[in-house]
A = this chain, B = another copy of it.
Amino acid sequence: MKCRRCAETAVVQLRSHNSAFCKPCFLLFFRRAVERAIDRDRMFTRDDHVLVAVSGGKDSLALWDVLHDLGYRTEGLYLGLGIGDYSAESERKAMRFALSRGLKLRVLALGEEAGSFTISEATSTTRRPPCSACGTFKRHYFDQAAAAGGFDVLATGHNLDDEAARLLGNVLHWQLAYLAKQQPVLTPTHPRFVRKVRPLYRTSELESATYAFLRGIDYVVEECPNSHGATQLVYKDLMNRLEQRMPGSKLMFVTDFLKHGHPLFADATAHPDLGECATCGMPAAGERCGYCRLVSEIERRRAQAVTYSRA
C-alpha cells in the first residue's frame, strides 16, 4: 500500500477517507484536519488562551500535542477522578507529557479538593451510574477552572467516534434538548462560562491513536474501568459495524446532522436563563447547579447512613 500524497510505503490505511499515508504525510494530514476543524467552526485563534482538558488518553494528549505544535497558546488541566490505578497511571502520563514539552498543567483531584467526592463515593451513596456522576463532576471542575483562570476557550479531546456514538444515543431516544446542544462549539450562555470546543470531532479514534503512536506519545491505553457495560460502548460498537460495512458513515452521520438536523433541534429548544448557583456561584438554571445538587445529595445520604448505623 502506498501513501496517497508521496507514494512512499504507507503505514496507515484510512478506509473512511479511501486513503493511506506514510508517517510524515499522516502527521501532516492529521494536523491539517484538526486545524481545518478549528478554522471552519471558528473555535479559537492564536490570540486566545486555550485550556485543554487532558485525561492522559490518546485523544486529549494528541489534541494538546497538535495545538502546541500549531502554535496555539495552551495550558492543560488534569482532573483526577480517584479511580484507583487507572487514575494514578493517567495522572502520571499527563504530567510526563506536559513536563517533556515544557507545558503548564493544572492538576486537580476529586476527593482532595475541598468539599469534593470521588466517583465511587458518588455512585455508592446516590446509586447514579458512574458515567453520570463523572460527567457532572468534570463539567463543574472544567468550567470552574476555565473561568477562574481567565481562559477564552476550553478544549476537550472528544473524537468522531465519541460524537457519532453520542449522536446515535440521542437519536435513538429522541432527546431533543441534548440534540440541540450537540455541537463542536458551545457558545457561552452565561458570563462565567467559557466557549467549549471539540477540535477532534471530525477525526476518528483510529486517527488520534495513530497520531499519538507515531508521535511517540505515552498515553493510557486501558479504557476507564467504569465504562464496562456502558451504553455508550454499545452505540460505539454499532457505529463501528456500520463503518466497517460503509466506510465514512460516522463522519457523514455527524456532519450531515450539524448541517441539516441540528438547526431544527436548536430552533425548537428554549434556552433557560441562567442565574448563579447559591452555593458555588457557577451558572445554574435553578437555585443550585447540578454539581452542588449532587454534592448535597451525597452529604445528605452519608449523614443518614451515619444516623442509621448509630441507631
Contacts and interface: CB of A to CB of B under 8 A. Distances in A.
Given A171-B171, A172-B252, A241-B241, A246 B234 contact: yes
A261 B176 contact: yes
A70 interface: no
Interface in A219-234: 231, 234
Contact of A264 (B231, B252, B253, B265): B265
A211 to B, nearest CB: 27
Contacts of A234: 242, 245-246
Interface string A150-188: 000000000000000000000111101000000000000
Contacts of A174: 253, 256-257, 259-261
Contacts of A107: none
A247 to B, nearest CB: 13
Contacts of A260: 174, 176
Contacts of A252: 172-173
A265 B262 CA distance: 11
Contacts of A176: 260-261, 264
Contacts of A256: 173-174
A128 to B, nearest CB: 19
Interface string A40-69: 000000000000000000000000000000
Nearest to A235: B242
A249 interface: yes
Contact of A238 (B231, B238, B259): B238
Contacts of A214: none
A7 interface: no
A268 interface: yes
Nearest to A259: B174
Interface of A is mostly: helix
A238 B250 CA distance: 14
Nearest to A262: B174
Interface string A187-208: 0000000000000000000000
Contacts of A173: 252-253, 256
Interface of A: 171-174, 176, 231, 234, 237-238, 241-242, 245-246, 249, 252-253, 256-257, 259-261, 264-265, 268
24 contacts: A171-B171, A171-B261, A172-B242, A172-B249, A172-B252, A172-B253, A173-B252, A173-B253, A173-B256, A174-B253, A174-B257, A174-B260, A174-B261, A176-B261, A231-B246, A234-B242, A234-B245, A234-B246, A237-B241, A238-B238, A238-B242, A241-B241, A264-B264, A264-B268
